Amino acid sequence: MTTTASEQPTSQASFLVADCGATNTTVVLFDVVDGVYRLIARATTPTTVAAPWSDVVLGLQQAITHISQRTGRPLLNERGTLIKPARRDGSGVDHFIVVASAAPPLRTLLVGLFDDVSINSARRALTTSYTQEIDCFSLSDRRNERAQVAALIEKQPDLIFLTGGTDGGAEKRLLEMAEMVNLGLGALAETKRPQVVFAGNRHLRQQVGALIGDRAVVRVADNVRPTLETEQIDDAAEVISRLYQDVKLKSLPGIHEVNEWSNQSPTPTARAFADIVAYFAALHQGRVLGVDLGSNSVTLVTATADSVNLTVRTDLGMGRPVVNLLDKVEPAAIAHWLSYEIGQEVIRDFIVNKSVHPQTIPMTEAELRLEHAIARQVIRQVATEAAADLDRVGQNGASPFRLLLARGATLANAPRPGQALLILLDALQPVGIFSVALDRYGLLPALGTLARREPLAVVQALEAGTLLDLGWVVVPTGPGQPGQEVLNVTVNPGALKVDVGYGEIAVVPLGTAQPVEVSLQPARRFDIGFGPGQGKTVTLRQGAVGLVVDARGRPLSLPQDETARRNQIRQWLWDMGA
């Protein structure tokens, strides 16, 4: 994660960036100090979108006031309005930028033809933004037209996403679907009519627009499935993201005053996070994985120098949506990650209480371990389903990466860095050699917005240590037996030698914060990314945890015996310093 900040900023502009989440609002101040950009201060306060406040500005003002108190720099005037631009006396700030995920997701009705073709691709497009699928009308739907129209009227979606038919393909059935949508729209009050996005057979754009255009705004996007073998969701994803901004973010209570402070509309947090992951991918010229374990959503980003895949799950998170986890897995799957005995009803009660009171934090060690177990299962669920989606369209969702960027209060607030790293390794079960960085201050979306405006500020802020470098991880793959030697690690040739056996997770101290040479030599049947038995000498940094060798095997398996399993979990925690 080495960066170079030898260049000077082209201007002395200061930036105040706010991240308005569903539970917390974080504000950070960047400015130039001694010729380079630095993080000056940050503050986090509860988000005030919901009742009894119903005004996003109140939480922002509280956070900005905290920054002013800590820095002695007035940022708000006597009316509570942001001072902008910065003044000669040191007060104010030049630029104010907002990223937000506090708005509810777009409630979406999906309308298409075949479930395993256009509907699947449409769902992939929906998962790139904050959306919630509330119903789906397709050829496999057994409801008649009257029942479908009644469902549309009852559920009153924010968005109708109409797709289906390859370019030049099916027309009649798709037009019948559009006519049904038109009937439903006609029965809704004009103020309650949803937006419509058409991303189907491009030859039907004019006819669909003529059918529906008098009753709703129809936005056109590229066909998500132009041929049976081709998927293209980028254009539809961009249209849906803009709709979230226009329909949801712009309707947040108090957002109009916030917009007066800024020169641009709020950016969805997931998009800003994807921007910074893409920034790192370009910086490292390799694949980067980003995980954002939020309160009301989970975001997964994979990026290379020339492509970005974004998955946003609004049905899962560590706050209100966490109760949905019980619809996907049994409590026993969560208890699987615990080193102590616990009843399934206790797990259910904890999850339901967390859903009702998302601001609560663990009060005992047992509650902390349980929350970490839930985090493992939430991330695991999202990653597994995202990888399956990528595989269906011909991409490798499990391919190795060079850097893992992680954020979210559960991870950032873990008492020990080894705990956060072990959650990620257990949940994602990655392979190969990669480094891990934790967004301990909640800055990555803010840096994502700055990456386009002032990229040098991002480089210099990162160089100043705004991310917590957890260290490097080596994950050998291959069949083995417990205790069998998997990898020989030699630090600074001759200084330290460590042999790691199958089934073990080991932390190898590198002894210094400076880069050191590390020789990695796997046993004959094991692969660390260069072929079975092929070793390599690499230059690595220590990090907060050290060099972690995860030789537990893939997929990760635990003993069936309850006592043995709990002892194994406890041993892994001990080995990771967690």
pLDDT tens over the chain, length 578 residues:
544 444 454 457 899 999 999 889 999 999 998 888 889 999 999 999 988 999 999 999 999 999 999 999 999 999 999 999 999 998 999 999 999 999 999 999 999 999 999 999 999 999 999 999 999 999 999 999 999 999 999 999 999 999 999 998 879 999 999 999 999 999 998 888 999 999 999 999 999 999 998 999 999 999 999 999 999 999 999 999 999 999 999 899 999 999 899 878 889 999 999 999 999 999 888 999 999 999 999 999 999 988 999 999 999 999 999 999 999 999 999 999 999 999 999 999 999 999 999 988 899 999 999 999 999 999 999 999 888 655 444 333 345 899 999 999 999 999 999 999 999 999 999 999 999 999 998 889 989 988 888 888 888 888 888 899 999 999 999 999 998 999 999 998 767 899 999 999 999 988 777 889 999 999 999 999 999 999 999 999 889 999 999 999 999 989 999 999 999 999 999 999 87
pLDDT score for 389: 57
Put residue 164 in one of left, alpha, beta given phi > 0 → left and psi -120 to 50 → alpha.
left
- Contacts with 154 (C-beta within 8 Å, 6 or more apart), sequence order: none
My answer on whether 110 and 171 are in the same domain is yes
Put residue 563 in one of left, alpha, beta given phi > 0 → left and psi -120 to 50 → alpha.
alpha
CB-CB contact of 174 with 113 (8 Å): yes
My answer on whether 241 and 129 are in the same domain is yes
My answer on whether 116 and 226 are in the same domain is yes
pLDDT score for 1: 52
Does residue 368 belong to any structural domain of this protein? Answer: no
pLDDT score for 356: 94
- Check residue 227 and report its DSSP letter: B
Distance, in Å, from the CA atom of 544 to the CA atom of 470, rounded to the nearest integer, reads: 5
Does residue 502 belong to any structural domain of this protein? Answer: yes
Q: Which of 475, 480, 510 is nearest to 495 (CA)?
A: 510
Distance, in Å, from the CA atom of 421 to the CA atom of 473, rounded to the nearest integer, reads: 10
Q: What are the structure tokens assigned to 461, written together? A: 């802020």
Does residue 397 belong to any structural domain of this protein? Answer: no
CB-CB contact of 528 with 487 (8 Å): yes
DSSP string, 110-140: EE-S-IIIIIHHHHHHHTTSSEEEEEEE-TT
CB-CB contact of 211 with 198 (8 Å): no
Does residue 543 belong to any structural domain of this protein? Answer: yes
Distance, in Å, from the CA atom of 570 to the CA atom of 399, rounded to the nearest integer, reads: 29
CA angle 508, 512, 514 (to 5 degrees): 115
My answer on whether 494 and 575 are in the same domain is yes
CB-CB contact of 235 with 200 (8 Å): no
pLDDT score for 470: 95
Token look-up 């999850």 returns 351
Count the domains in the chain: 3
My answer on whether 39 and 116 are in the same domain is no
pLDDT score for 551: 96
Q: Roughly what angle, to the nearest 10 degrees, separates helices 172-186 and 205-212?
A: 20
Which domain, by its residues, includes 198?
A: 106-250
C-alpha of 228 from chain center: 29
pLDDT score for 6: 42
My answer on whether 147 and 95 are in the same domain is no
pLDDT score for 399: 59
Please provide residue 59's backbone torsions phi and psi, each rounded to the nearest 5 degrees: -65, -40
Please provide residue 50's backbone torsions phi and psi, each rounded to the nearest 5 degrees: -80, 170
Residue where one domain finishes, among candidates 102, 128, 162: 102
CB-CB contact of 63 with 25 (8 Å): yes
My answer on whether 120 and 213 are in the same domain is yes
My answer on whether 51 and 121 are in the same domain is no
* Helix, strand, or coil (residue 180): helix
Residue 82: CATH number of its domain: 3.30.420.40
The one-letter amino acid code at 261 reads W
My answer on whether 200 and 65 are in the same domain is no
β partners of residue 28:
17, 42
- Contacts with 116 (C-beta within 8 Å, 6 or more apart), sequence order: none
Does residue 211 belong to any structural domain of this protein? Answer: yes
My answer on whether 498 and 574 are in the same domain is yes
Does residue 547 belong to any structural domain of this protein? Answer: yes
pLDDT score for 10: 46
Residue where one domain finishes, among candidates 80, 102, 124: 102
Residue 212: CATH number of its domain: 3.40.50.280
- Helix ranges restricted to H, 97-213: 120-126, 145-155, 172-186, 205-212
CB-CB contact of 188 with 158 (8 Å): no
Residue where one domain finishes, among candidates 207, 224, 250: 250
- Check residue 81 and report its DSSP letter: P
The one-letter amino acid code at 427 reads A
Does residue 346 belong to any structural domain of this protein? Answer: no
My answer on whether 532 and 567 are in the same domain is yes
Does residue 560 belong to any structural domain of this protein? Answer: yes
How many other C-beta atoms can be found within 10 angstroms of the C-beta atom of residue 502?
20
My answer on whether 63 and 178 are in the same domain is no
pLDDT score for 397: 37
